Amino acid sequence: MEIIKKNNNIILTNCNNFSLEQTFECGQCFRFEQTSEGLYSGVALGRKLIIGQEKDIVTLYDVSESEFEQRWRSYFDLDRDYACILDRLSFDGRMREAVRRACGLRILRQEGWETLCSFIISQNNNIPRIKKIISSLCRLLGEQISEDAYSFPTAEKVAAAGIDGLAPIRSGFRAKYIIDAARKVSEGQINLSEIGSLEYLRAREKLMCIKGVGEKVADCVLLFAFGFYEAFPKDVWVKRIIDKYYGEDFEADYFGENAGIAQQYLFYYERSLLKESVCEE
């Protein structure tokens, strides 16, 4: 990959194993949308970003070199050797096919509190509604950072709002879990800055001290915010995929240290098959 600065944009050339569509549309983040021009626009790390791709060239618009190095290089996991990971995971026929279809998917390194809150909201929910609730939360309690963009509100701001204060976002039963998480984070009972330094099972145990956070939500947070690539989140979709291809005796360590990446490849692969079957009908 070569990094070029041109007209206040950052242009990444020879971007192998990097697809914006696969990365943004796999269900790991909820604040990026594709525009009518084919670009992606969203908010992450307190900044609005517009980013586009043409073949193996990715352009980050209105981004300085320092901002790219400080925010977006790690956010898009650009220093990880995904070619090596793809090779390591291609040890059975099903994974080889999943890898072939999802080879551009990268695990984002998202902000911890936002990821925790977002996946609490995701429980028993569909992606359009998750996005709507998160957008409403940001408009309600976040800081306006541009004409149409708001930052994700801090845990302190959410905790201060209380359950009644979250009524406008219509999060339902999840409101009490959101507030419990916000209070535990803002009061220091859950120190998110220390989570990444813990052993995986201990980190999951800490997150599960929050009401409404079970193994699936904790694993999503650990995988998508803290770089625990051995985490293997199992929602209804993933359980069905595993039962279909690997059976009831499957254990996540089958995929080793990259189990979470394998999970995302399988999830994207299965959704691709579903979309194809719908189109054929």
pLDDT > 90? residue 98: yes
Report the pLDDT averaged over residues 199-220.
Answer: 97
What are the E-state strand segments in 36-143?
A: 40-44, 47-54, 57-61
Please tell me the predicted confidence (pLDDT) of residue 206: 97
Output the six-digit token pair for 36.
Answer: 């009518």
Report the pLDDT averaged over residues 83-105.
Answer: 93
Q: What is the pLDDT of residues 36-64, one digit of tens each?
A: 999 999 999 999 999 999 999 999 999 99
The percentage of residues in the chain with a pLDDT greater than 70, rounded to a whole number, is 97
Report the pLDDT averaged over residues 79-93.
Answer: 93
State whether the Cα torsion 140-143-145-151 is positive or negative.
negative
Spatial separation of the C-alpha atoms in residues 17 and 124, rounded to whole Å: 31
Please tell me the predicted confidence (pLDDT) of residue 208: 98
Tokens 């549309």 identify what position? 25
Q: What is the DSSP letter of 151?
A: P
Mean pLDDT computed over every residue of the chain: 94
With H, G, I as helix, E, B as strand and everything else as coil, classify residue 274: helix
With H, G, I as helix, E, B as strand and everything else as coil, classify residue 29: coil
Please tell me the predicted confidence (pLDDT) of residue 166: 98
Report the pLDDT averaged over residues 15-30.
Answer: 94
Q: What is the pLDDT of residues 138-168, one digit of tens each?
A: 999 999 999 889 999 999 999 999 999 999 9
Of the pLDDT bands very low, low, confident and very high (cuts 50, 70, 90), residue 278 is very low
Please tell me the predicted confidence (pLDDT) of residue 202: 97
Please tell me the predicted confidence (pLDDT) of residue 271: 85
Nearest CA among 136, 236, 226 for reference residue 190: 226
Residue pair 138/150 in contact by the 8 Å Cβ criterion: yes
The values of phi and psi at residue 208, to 5°, are -75, 0
Of the pLDDT bands very low, low, confident and very high (cuts 50, 70, 90), residue 276 is low
**In terms of C-beta density within 10 A (0-12 exposed, 13-18 middle, 19 or more buried), how is residue 280 classed?**
exposed
Of the pLDDT bands very low, low, confident and very high (cuts 50, 70, 90), residue 277 is low
Q: What is the pLDDT of residues 173-206, one digit of tens each?
A: 999 999 999 999 999 999 999 999 999 999 999 9
Please tell me the predicted confidence (pLDDT) of residue 275: 67
Residue pair 257/229 in contact by the 8 Å Cβ criterion: yes
DSSP H helix total and E strand total for the chain? 14, 8
Spatial separation of the C-alpha atoms in residues 140 and 70, rounded to whole Å: 28
CB atoms within 10 A of CB 98: 27
Walk me through the domains of the chain, giving residue ranges and CATH numbers. 2-79 (3.30.310.260), 112-226 (1.10.340.30)
pLDDT > 60? residue 226: yes
What's the Cα-to-Cα distance from 201 to each of 102, 118, 245, 280, rounded to whole Å?
Answer: 28, 21, 26, 43
